[in-house]
Amino acid sequence: MKMIASPFAKHAAMIAGAMLLGVTLGTSPAQAAGDLPEIKAQSWTFSGPFGTFDRGQLQRGFKVYKEVCAGCHGLRQLHFRNLGEPGGPEFSEAEVKALAAEVEVKDGPNDEGEMFDRPGKPSDAFVSPFPNENAARAANNGANPPDLSLMAKARVGGPDYIYGLMVGYKEPPSSMKMSEDMSYNDVFPGHQIAMAAPLSEESVEYTDGTKPTLENHAKDVSAFLMWAAEPKLEERHKLGFRFMIYLLILSVLLYLAKRRIWSRLKH
Ligand code: HEC
């Protein structure tokens, strides 16, 4: 019989197809960096369908954000409690409390109808550095430092782009006329950016033995911003993995069932 000539091949193809689907669904968008040649793909622990964040890297990245970027950029979709949740930097409860208490949060009105400042709590959102866009522009030569909550997803290249931006500051080519207060950057569209190089060697002190190089600072803060933009990445990867296993088992069962049914037919 022609129809059952190669049932195994057919099923193998089905299983391969299902696995491919699983892999595609689980792929992180950071890998779509290919179409912009100047953005070099870095190796990240969180890329690929089974990737997870490196806790130490996220904790260092948070430190870089807090001590350098937070002076100009908000991260308003994050709450302090997120820093202690599974799949993120996983700071301890006490550390989260202490980190939250470092900031002043506006609260109120109190019984007298007045707003007041109090130390932050884990349930508070991150506090942006400027009260509004005009204040932000006034402090940055007219340019607005964007909120970084979704930045790692908003730009083509994601964390590869942010890394490239951090390490991409150079002397402009002599042919290029630079406007005042602008810096030349390899990966920024148009190459003139209103943000001066925020990082250099030893910008931030590391306490876990990691070398405080520009490259490590850049990598750590990019990974941290990737987590900030997609705090459920690890959960998504785990689900994708379970889904693939499920498809595999289902395919084997279907194959065995089909073989049993067809074996009743006379050849
Ligand atoms: C002194 C203020 C200041 C600091 C500190 C700073 N930035 Fe910026 N940043 C800016 C400004 C202003 C812009 C807008 C630049 C423009 O549009 O030309 C910007 C833009 C950006 C962008 C968006 C680039 C794009 O593609 O539009 C990213 C990403 C970024 N900053 C990341 C960071 C990170 C990460 C840090 C910390 C390591 C940091 N910045 C520290 C002022 C700052």
Residue 15 falls within a domain, yes or no?
yes
Residue 150 falls within a domain, yes or no?
yes
Residue 208 falls within a domain, yes or no?
yes
Residue 91 falls within a domain, yes or no?
no
pLDDT at residue 84 in the model: 98
For the record, the structure tokens of 172 come out as 């402009």
Domain hosting residue 154, numbered range: 9-23+50-78+126-263
Peptide bond into 109 cis (omega under 30): yes
> What is the pLDDT confidence band of residue 158, given thresholds at 50, 70 and 90?
very high
Residue 157 falls within a domain, yes or no?
yes
Q: State how far the Cα of 240 lies from the Cα of 12, in Å rounded to an integer.
A: 20
Mutation to probe ligand 1, out of 58, 72, 200 (largest number of atoms < 8 A from CB): 72
Mean pLDDT within 234-252: 95
The number of domains in the chain is 1
Å from CA of 71 to ligand 1 middle: 10
Which of 16-20, 78-82, 136-140, 218-222 shows the lowest mean pLDDT across its residues?
16-20
Q: State how far the Cα of 147 lies from the Cα of 74, in Å rounded to an integer.
A: 5
Residue 73 falls within a domain, yes or no?
yes
Q: Is 159 in the pocket of ligand 1 (CB under 6 A)?
A: no
Residue 174 falls within a domain, yes or no?
yes
Q: State how far the Cα of 171 lies from the Cα of 155, in Å rounded to an integer.
A: 24
pLDDT at residue 4 in the model: 46
pLDDT at residue 199 in the model: 98
Q: Is 195 in the pocket of ligand 1 (CB under 6 A)?
A: yes
**Residue 151 maps to which CATH number?**
1.10.760.10
- Per-residue pLDDT of 97-120, as tens digits, reads 999 999 999 999 999 999 999 999
Residue 188 falls within a domain, yes or no?
yes
Q: How many residues does the chain have?
A: 267
pLDDT at residue 27 in the model: 45
Mean pLDDT within 112-139: 96
Mutation to probe ligand 1, out of 38, 60, 67, 73 (largest number of atoms < 8 A from CB): 73
User: What contacts 256, CB < 8 A, 6 or more positions away?
Assistant: none
| % of the chain residues with pLDDT over 70 | 86
Please check whether residue 227 is in contact with residue 53, taking contact to mean a CB–CB distance below 8 angstroms.
yes
User: What contacts 157, CB < 8 A, 6 or more positions away?
Assistant: 30, 32, 33, 36, 39, 164, 187
